[in-house]
C-alpha cells in the first residue's frame, strides 16, 4: 500500500472523527439550550397557543405577543426583585471572598497538622441540610432584629457559600507551585504581599468559580428567602416572582418563563466572558502563564 493511499485514508478518518466530534457537540449544545429556547418562545406565546395540546411547543402557532413580558415589568415587582437579588448577591460574594480566601490559603499553604481534617470538616458543613439549620438561624435573625429584611439573607447566605468556596479555593491553590510564592518572598515581599502579587493572579480562575457559585446560589435559594423576608418590596427573584405569578391554581406561565430567561441569560453571559479563565484553572498552562 503506497504512502499516498495511506495518507488519503488517514485524512478521511481524520475528517470523519472531526465530523463526529462536531456533530456530538452540536447535539449536546441543542439539548442544553433546549429549555432556554422553549422558555423564550413560551414567554411570547398567546394563551390560545400555549394551552392548545395540538400546538408545537417549540414554535409560534399563532402570532407572538409581548403582552406577558410587559405584564412582568408593569404589573409585578420584578425590577425590585432583580435589584434586591443583585445587591444581596454582590455583598454575599464580597463576604465569601473576604473570608474564604484567607481561610483557604491558611489550610492549603501553612502546613498545619490539622489542616486536612479542618478542610474536610468545613466542607461537611455545606452538606448539612438547610432544614436542620433553619430554627437556629431563625432565632439568630430575630435576635439581631433583621427579620423581614434582605439584610437577613446577607447574614445567612455566607454560611452556605463560605464552606464550599474554601474547599474550591483549596483545590485551586494546590495546583499553584509553592516556588512562585517563595521566589516572591525571596525578592522582598511579605507573605501577604507574595499572596497578593503572585498567587491571586494565578488564582483568578478559582475566584471566578467562587463568584459564579455564590451569586447563582443567592439568586436561586428559596427556603431562607421565603422564611426570613415577607414584605414584597424586600423579596428576591426566587420568592418574589412565584409569589406574584402563582396565584392559587392560576399560573402566569408566559411571565414566569420570561422571568426565568431574564435572570438566567445575564448570569450565563457573564460566566461565558470568563470561561477561558475558568478552564485555564484546570490546566498546567494557568501556572506557567
pLDDT tens profile 22-55? 888 888 888 888 888 888 899 999 888 888 888 8
User: What residues contact residue 196 under an 8 Å CB cut-off, 6+ apart?
Assistant: none
- Could you tell me which residue, 243 or 132, shows the higher pLDDT? 243
- Could you tell me which residue, 182 or 256, shows the higher pLDDT? 256
Grid coordinates given for 19: 465530523
Whether 238 contacts 224, CB under 8 Å: no
Q: Where does the pLDDT of residue 99 fall: very low under 50, low under 70, confident under 90, or very high at 90 and above?
A: very high
Whether 119 contacts 206, CB under 8 Å: no
C-alpha torsion sign, points 165, 166, 168, 169: positive
Whether 126 contacts 167, CB under 8 Å: yes
For residues 65-94, average pLDDT: 92
Grid coordinates given for 141: 435573625
Residue 285 pLDDT greater than 70, yes or no: no
Residue 281 pLDDT greater than 70, yes or no: no
Q: For residue 119, which of 63, 55, 174 has the smallest C-alpha distance?
A: 174
CA 87, CA 269: separation in Å to the nearest integer? 18
Helices 158-174 and 78-109, interaxial angle, to 10°?
40
148 phi-psi bin (left φ>0, alpha ψ -120 to 50, beta other): left
Q: Where does the pLDDT of residue 280 fall: very low under 50, low under 70, confident under 90, or very high at 90 and above?
A: low
Long-range contacts formed by 60-68: CB under 8 A, 24+ apart:
68/43, 68/44, 68/252, 68/254, 68/255, 68/258
Task: Specify the pLDDT at position 277.
Answer: 63
For residues 126-142, average pLDDT: 80
Task: Specify the pLDDT at position 1.
Answer: 56
| Helix, strand, coil in percent for the chain, rounding step 5 | 75, 0, 20
CA 176, CA 286: separation in Å to the nearest integer? 9
For residues 215-225, average pLDDT: 87
- pTM, two decimals, is 0.80
CA 138, CA 212: separation in Å to the nearest integer? 27
Residues 260, 261, 263, 267, Cα dihedral to 10°: 130
Q: For residue 78, which of 87, 88, 69 has the smallest C-alpha distance?
A: 69
C-alpha torsion sign, points 138, 143, 149, 151: negative
| DSSP codes of every residue in 75-102 | SS-HHHHHHHHHHHHHHHHHHHHHHHHH
- Could you tell me which residue, 149 or 181, shows the higher pLDDT? 149
CA 59, CA 42: separation in Å to the nearest integer? 9
Environment class of 271 (CB within 10 Å of its CB; exposed 0-12, middle 13-18, buried 19+)? middle
Residue 288 pLDDT greater than 70, yes or no: no
User: What residues contact residue 284 under an 8 Å CB cut-off, 6+ apart?
Assistant: none
Amino acid at each position: 500500500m503506497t504512502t499516498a493511499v495511506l495518507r488519503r485514508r488517514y485524512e478521511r478518518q481524520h475528517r470523519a472523527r472531526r465530523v463526529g466530534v462536531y456533530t456530538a457537540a452540536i447535539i449536546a449544545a441543542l439539548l442544553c439550550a433546549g429549555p432556554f429556547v422553549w422558555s423564550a418562545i413560551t414567554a411570547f406565546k398567546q394563551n390560545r397557543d400555549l394551552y392548545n395540546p395540538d400546538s408545537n411547543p417549540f414554535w409560534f402557532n399563532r402570532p407572538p405577543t409581548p403582552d406577558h413580558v410587559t405584564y412582568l415589568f408593569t404589573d409585578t415587582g420584578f425590577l425590585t426583585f432583580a435589584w434586591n437579588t443583585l445587591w444581596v448577591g454582590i455583598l454575599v460574594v464580597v463576604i465569601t471572598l473576604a473570608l474564604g480566601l484567607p481561610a483557604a490559603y491558611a489550610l492549603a499553604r501553612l502546613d498545619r497538622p490539622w489542616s486536612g481534617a479542618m478542610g474536610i470538616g468545613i466542607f461537611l458543613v455545606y452538606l448539612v441540610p438547610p432544614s436542620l439549620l433553619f430554627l437556629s438561624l431563625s432565632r439568630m435573625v430575630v435576635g439581631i432584629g433583621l427579620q423581614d429584611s434582605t439584610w437577613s439573607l446577607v447574614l445567612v447566605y455566607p454560611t452556605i457559600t463560605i464552606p464550599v468556596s474554601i474547599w474550591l479555593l483549596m483545590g485551586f491553590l494546590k495546583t499553584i507551585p509553592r516556588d512562585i510564592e517563595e521566589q516572591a518572598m525571596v525578592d522582598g515581599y511579605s507573605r501577604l504581599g507574595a499572596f497578593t502579587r503572585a498567587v491571586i493572579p494565578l488564582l483568578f480562575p478559582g475566584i471566578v468559580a467562587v463568584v459564579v457559585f455564590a451569586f447563582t446560589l443567592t439568586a436561586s435559594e428559596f427556603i431562607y428567602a421565603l422564611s426570613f423576608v415577607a414584605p414584597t418590596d424586600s423579596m428576591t427573584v426566587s420568592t418574589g416572582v412565584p409569589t406574584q405569578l402563582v396565584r392559587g391554581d392560576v399560573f402566569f406561565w408566559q411571565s414566569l418563563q420570561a422571568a426565568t430567561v431574564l435572570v438566567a441569560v445575564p448570569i450565563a453571559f457573564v460566566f461565558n466572558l470568563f470561561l477561558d479563565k475558568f478552564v485555564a484553572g484546570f490546566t498546567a498552562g494557568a501556572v506557567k502563564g
